[in-house]
Amino acid sequence: MTRTIVALLIPAALLLGACSSESATTEAESPASATTEATEASSADLPAVADLCKGLLQYANGAEARAQQSGETFDRTKALDDLFTQSAETPEWKDAPQDRKDQMIQAYDAAKTGAC
């Protein structure tokens, strides 16, 4: 289940706008400038930190409910730390610009405290 959340939440958050960007590059454009322009154009389409945090809280709440149903103990911080670790290993995370990574870190930190 965690892999499903990682597969849906993090890559979608990181690349939402990049996949839908309609900017075309010309041969005169360098690949670096095209990437920068696509990233800048897509940044407005990406979810805000608060929205990302809410998604992480929904994940944690669902995991907690499943743990309670099966009689297991649940540690929200550990669950979010594990999800963060798995997310950081994805190509989407590794390829994301640093400012987007910073936003995701803020969202994880806020979700741990429940203060979205």
Please write the tens of the pLDDT for every residue from 37-89. 444 444 556 678 999 999 999 999 999 999 999 999 999 999 999 999 999 99
Domain map of the chain by residue range? 2-16+28-113
Query: What string of DSSP letters covers 37-93?
Result: HHHHHHHTTSPPHHHHHHHHHHHHHHHHHHHHHTT----HHHHHHHHHHHHHTSHHH
User: What is the percentage of the chain residues whose pLDDT exceeds 70?
Assistant: 60
What does pTM read for this prediction? 0.59
